[in-house]
Amino acid sequence: MAEDQRMVTVKTPASQRTQILLFILGLGVYSYFYQAGGWNQNSRFDLVRSIVEQGSAKIDRYHENTGDKARRGDHYYCDKAPGVSWLAVPVYAGVYGAGGGGDMGSTCLAAASYLATVWAVSIPAAMALVMLFRLLAIMGLSMPASLAVSLAYGFGTLAFPYATLFYGHQLSASLLLIGFALLVQARQAPQARSRGFYFATGVLLGYSITVEYPAVLAVAVLGAYALWFVKPRERLMALVFGIAVPVLTLMAYHAIVFGGPLTVPYDFSTQEHRGQGFFMGLGAPLDGAIRGVLISSHRGLFYSAPWLLFALPGAAWLWRRRKFRAEGVVCVVVSLLFVWLNVSLVDWAGGATFGARYLILAIPFLAIVAGGLASRPAETASRLARGAVWGIFSVMAGWSVSHMLLATAVLPEVEVYYGRPFQERLYPAFRLGLLGVNTQSFDSSEKPAYGQPEAWNLGGLLGLEGRATLIPLALFTVSITGLMLQSVRRQDRGDPAGAEKHQAPRRRSQRLYRKKTGRGRPRGGSQRGN
């Protein structure tokens, strides 16, 4: 009975409509931008091209377009985990085949890399938004609060710009978030989940490791969480087997390409610092790194997305709620592990970026904890206090969204020599109307100082220029957001199409309400059966 009441928010037609619109909004915004090339994405896309065009993992033909590469013997390889490249292979194969094979022209290559990014990164990121909304609703947030936190995560954190880049960070974060949401759903309704459900969840978690090796830190914590509640043993084993399938595939790839199942590309990286530390660079924190990745204007996570500071009081609220204390602990532990990893890396600043990109895998868990502040039952807080909290949240989230939109529209990969990316690079470029300024393609080995921009957005393809290229995006965002708010209002009013979870009846036969009352009374006014 209690589980039905927790799940009604994600089952009502109004909520389902909101989820569909949320996915459309996320995919529409993420796919609006094409960021072109760079060392990281070129290395990954070189592997895609080599697999499709040559049936090989060697990137000898393309390696000069990137400094992120591994060298074993006389051959060059992508020095990244291969998961995002594997996922993009079918898309590139389709475009390559449609073009008749042979050398790809610059236009076709740009189209192929754009479609590959949308397929392998943007779509999973939009799906993760929906799963975050569902997870927050299950954890006790109202529909408006769940939507607000989900929007803040999707467009007010590094999830936004990195959902438009052919990197592995956001794909891995999306898989971890979806996998965690599925596990939380399973804990709330254990008898409704089959072995197939746990196997599929395990595959998602395992594949996150094939995309970004450090994801193993989060998977280990989520595995311990599952071990605590998954019963019987057969279901737990299904989860383990699901994790093992992509991990064993990754180990086979390592054995074939690099000579051993546990030998990673970084062992052969042309950049020596990749092999430092006892795990992916994990070690003692470096001087200045904690401030640098958390609060500084150089790379600070809370500087570019200050609303995530709500995670501090949110963690306290989740700890006080026994029902979801375990989920709160999981989120806090995962977040701390990735902060530790980031601050101990030799290149903790992350190279060409404007934020703490090594923390992207932790951001979904920080967002969940930040939402914990809004999970406090409404009846235990005064209206004034709730209004103050959400007022502060709105201002901080709005500031975060503006930061992320600015960076996404201008240049997510800010050059390393800018000490204050927003003040020195992004603000000045935006004021001048210089958007999509990246000049490096997926073919070029250099980033010319005054070259022709290779990045673009859909507004630019329509013939608009400068800041005006964002007008179609604004119209799209306002229209979809308006529809979502309308759906939320319907649920708040207690419409049959969107009743609040506290108005849900206890029997299936009582799920139809009279429109005029808005109080959840069955037809005829009878309350029998409640």
SS (H, E, C) 466-489: HHHHHHHHHHHHHHHHHHHHHHHH
Helices and strands counted in the chain (H then E): 22, 4
pLDDT for the residue 448: 62
Q: Is residue 525 part of a domain?
A: no
Closest CA to 447 of 169, 66, 126, 34: 66
Q: Is residue 285 part of a domain?
A: yes
Contact residues for 106 (Cβ-Cβ < 8 A; gap 6+): 441, 443
Burial class (CB in 10 A: 0-12, 13-18, 19+), 34: buried
User: Which residues is 483 bridged to in the sheet?
Assistant: none
Helix (H) or strand (E) holding 431: helix 427-431
Its domain, for residue 93, covers 2-482
Alpha carbon distance, N-terminus to C-terminus of the chain: 11
pTM for this predicted structure: 0.89
Beta carbons within 10 angstroms of residue 217's beta carbon: 23
Q: In the chain, which residues have pLDDT < 70?
A: 1-12, 14, 272-282, 375-381, 445-450, 492-530
pLDDT for the residue 378: 47
Beta carbons within 10 angstroms of residue 61's beta carbon: 13
Q: Is residue 368 part of a domain?
A: yes
pLDDT for the residue 275: 52
Alpha carbons 230 and 227: distance in angstroms, whole number: 6
pLDDT for the residue 447: 61
Q: Is residue 498 part of a domain?
A: no
Amino acid identity at 303: Y
Burial 47-58 (b: 16+ CB within 10 A, else e): bbbbbbbeeebb
Q: Is residue 501 part of a domain?
A: no
pLDDT for the residue 451: 74
Alpha carbons 146 and 234: distance in angstroms, whole number: 33
pLDDT for the residue 249: 98
Q: Is residue 500 part of a domain?
A: no
Q: How many structural domains is the chain composed of? A: 1
pLDDT for the residue 492: 63
Q: Is residue 344 part of a domain?
A: yes
